[in-house]
Structure 1
Amino acid sequence: MTVVCHCKNCQKQTGTAFSILIAVPEESISFTDKGSFSEFLDSGESGGAVRRRFCGNCGSPIVSIVESAPGTAFIKAGTLEDCSWLEPTLHTWCDSAQPWVPIPDDTDKTARSRPS
């Protein structure tokens, strides 16, 4: 699932209006050089913990682990060499979306957190 998150925390982390994330089972991913990761423990708009992992060398966000979505890792789409195949399937936290960002009518959306 490809998610566009409009929450205020993602806006702050990305420095723009939203974050594009690929939701995958946490156990399905592995990283070859975890030693260069740094982690910031954030509190999401939902009040739950969000572990934001980023490159300790360049600061690029890599993956988020969200307490309210156990077992799921949210990979930052910008970390992929080619993300042209991605098609957002869900927009979340639309209540926090910037008014100048269009959200397609034919895309699933939630006012706040992702659906359970």
Structure 2
Amino acid sequence: MATGKCNCGAISVTLKNGLPESSILCHCMSCRASSGSLFTVNLAVNKADLVIDGEQHLREYADKNTDSGSTLLRRFCGTCGSPIVSVVEGNDETQFLKGALFGKGIPKPAAEIFSRNFESWESARDGVHVAEAMPSH
């Protein structure tokens, strides 16, 4: 099991099967804006493995202006504003939990997506798959 929380502690998240083996760094413009940083650290998790306590504090923004073209439901703490989880509308079985909720020990990234948005001084991390946009399945 792994447990994390938002900045104010109103929302806690538990992964019943622990942290995944790797994370995904997303450099899309929407993730940059919502995180206040150059990327978000996402943990792709199965909905059935995720328990969210304090759901009454969750707020949701339907982000329709995404680089992928899909509407992304961005769920965040309504008290402190910490991003909690993102879900592609119509496909909630895979949830993109924000890795920073767990503090230190975040899994190493396996991929960086939307590298086309890198700043001129940014570079990819060694040994990490890089994609200019959303990889197609």
TM-score, with structure 1 as normaliser: 0.89
> Which whole-Å CA distance do the structure 2 matches of 1:32 and 1:63 have between them?
13
> Which whole-Å CA distance do the structure 2 matches of 1:42 and 1:24 have between them?
20
- Indicate the larger mover: 50-59 or 95-104: 95-104
Aligned-pair Cα RMSD in Å: 1.8
Partner of 1:90: 111
Q: Cα deviation per residue 1:24-78 (whole Å; 9 max; x = unaligned)? A: 1122112121101000110221111100000011111111002486521111111
Partner of 2:31: 10
The 4+ residue runs of structure 1 with deviation greater than 4 A are: none
* Letter of the 2:53 counterpart: T
Aligned residues: 115
Partner of 1:21: 42
> Deviation at 1:114?
3.3
* Letter of the 1:17 counterpart: L
Q: Is structure 2 residue 81 aligned with structure 1 residue 59? A: yes
* Letter of the 1:3 counterpart: I
Partner of 1:77: 99
- Percent of pairs with identical residues: 28
Bigger share in strand: 2
Q: Is structure 2 residue 131 aligned with structure 1 residue 110? A: yes
Q: Is structure 2 residue 71 aligned with structure 1 residue 37? A: no
> Deviation at 1:84?
2.1
Q: Secondary structure at the match of 2:123?
A: coil
> Which whole-Å CA distance do the structure 1 matches of 2:127 and 2:39 have between them?
18
Q: Cα deviation per residue 1:74-97 (whole Å; 9 max; x = unaligned)? A: 1111111x3324101110111112
